[in-house]
Amino acid sequence: MGYSKSHEFCSDSSIGLKSLAIDSRYQVKGLGAQFMKVLPKYLSENYADNAFIYLTVNCKNHGTINCYKKAGFEDTAKLYLGGLVGPQHIMRRK
């Protein structure tokens, strides 16, 4: 099932990043930031027909929120309440 089918905030012309996890032994080493730097090129080469990429991030995860913002994601000012770990910001990038 596609992300847009299970998440009403994501249009059919967009894609979603379902999850991204970095093992705790490797966190705070810049790996997430490096991934976010190469993600746009990968998406433009492989998913050029999609208008946006969406993701959600726990409201308490300030470090990751900042990482996504630095990578060009914007906070839509809406919350996703269907997550297992509490409310999540809905973010997207063109």
Domain with residue 77: its CATH number is: 3.40.630.30
What's the gap between Cα 12 and its chain centre?
16
Q: What is the pLDDT of residue 27?
A: 84
C-alpha distance from residue 84 to each of 8, 50, 71, 73, 80 (Å):
17, 27, 25, 22, 11
pLDDT band at residue 18, thresholds of 50, 70 and 90?
A: confident
Sheet with 88-93: strands ordered across: 15-16, 53-58, 88-93, 74-80
Where is pLDDT greater, at 78 or 19? 78
Instruction: Name residue 11's amino acid.
Output: S
* Structural domain boundaries, residue 62: 3-17+24-93
Looking at per-residue pLDDT, the higher value among 6 and 52 belongs to 52
Name the domain count of the chain: 1
Mean pLDDT of 23-28: 87
The string of pLDDT tens digits covering residues 28-85 is 888 888 888 898 889 889 988 888 999 999 999 998 899 899 889 999 999 999 878 8
Return the structure tokens found at 93. 């990038």
pLDDT at 78: 95
